[in-house]
Homo-oligomer: A and B are copies of this chain.
Amino acid sequence: MDNIAQLKDNGLKVTGPRLKILDLFETHAGKHLSAEDVYRILLEEGVDIGVATIYRVLTQFEQADILLRHHFESGKAVYELNQGDHHDHLVCVKCGMVAEFHNKEIEDLQDKIAEEHGYRIVDHALYMYGVCGGCQKKEKHR
């Protein structure tokens, strides 16, 4: 399904800002971008979209399951393209690099725990914070 159809299927009109923002996330698949990141990157490309529009579009895309929203420790929301493959995150606290992983055993255990507590799960987020290999090497050189 192309971008235009994806917007139409969600009842969203096909507009310049929406296509630009969607395209940006496809170009940066796997990256986690804040609203300000989106604004800045587009501006560098000569595309000036108002921040209000960016926030509105990001919210709409999240509701349409086009994007996933996360809250890492930074205090601001970041978004990434929803590629269907659920995954969790390993975030480097030094350089910010994010590694992704998926582990079915953990997922199954989570479902079991939710059931035991009487919860019907709608979403979950597993974030691990650590120091990545590259930054560990740098530490030794100090």
Q: Which residues of A contact B (CB under 8 A)?
A: 69, 71-73, 75, 77, 90, 92-93, 99, 101, 103, 105-106, 109-110, 113-114, 117-133, 136
A119 proximity list for chain B (CB < 8 A): 90, 92, 99, 128, 130-133
A93 proximity list for chain B (CB < 8 A): 122-123
Q: Does B124 contact A131, Cβ atoms closer than 8 Å?
A: no
A124 proximity list for chain B (CB < 8 A): 126-129
A114 proximity list for chain B (CB < 8 A): 90, 128, 130
Least distance between A37 CB and chain B CB atoms (Å): 17
**Chain B residue with the shortest CB-CB distance to A121:** B130
Q: How far is the CA of A105 from the CA of B59 in the complex (A)?
A: 35
**Chain B residue with the shortest CB-CB distance to A129:** B123
A117 proximity list for chain B (CB < 8 A): 90, 99, 101, 132-133
